[in-house]
Amino acid sequence: MRVARVERKRNPGGPSTVLPSPGFALLNPGYGSLRAVATMTATLLLTATALAGPVLVYREGAYCPQDRPATAPRITAAQAIERGKALLPADFCGPTWYVSGCDFDPEWAFDTWRVFARQYKLVNGEKEYQGRDHSYVVLDAVGNCLANIPGT
């Protein structure tokens, strides 16, 4: 626990005055500074959250079909990548003036395939990823879409 430091100031020819230290106002809720700091912190957090915007998650429809029976054969990593490519928007991997292509990284976890797609731009023969978008496609063991999360 912190204890506020109290400074005493003597006025020549006058009574002594007790002044709280600068940190005292933050520790004592009776002073308005604590409320001001709390209000400012809450405002900044809410503003940042509001500006972040919603995260799109497709769980059905054209971007997340569930058209394979549960008895279908399990898919491989290569098949998961192909299925993930098919579920991305048509121009996601380019080629456009901003995107040359995509890299795909499949991961097997908890009986699902998670396919991470990351855009790149070829600059002087090397892949540049900065400022480009990425996406996750989560598939069950047979290739049905569980979630398609663009721009995560």
For 31, list phi and psi in degrees, rounded to 5.
-90, 150
Q: What is the mean pLDDT of the chain?
A: 80
Q: Place 21 in a pLDDT band, splitting at 50, 70 and 90.
A: low
Q: What is the pLDDT of residue 126?
A: 95
Return the top range by mean pLDDT from 7-11, 110-114, 131-135. Answer: 110-114
Confidence (pTM):
0.62
Contacts of 140 (CB under 8 A, 6+ apart): 111, 112, 113, 146
Element of type H or E holding 117: strand 112-123
CB 98 within 8 A of CB 131: no
What is the arithmetic mean of pLDDT over 95-123?
A: 95
- Rounded to an integer, what distance in angstroms lies between the CA atom of residue 99 and that of residue 82? 19
Q: Is 25 helix (H, G, I), strand (E, B) or coil?
A: helix
Q: Is 52 or 43 the better-scoring residue by pLDDT?
A: 43
The domain locations on the chain are 6-52, 77-150
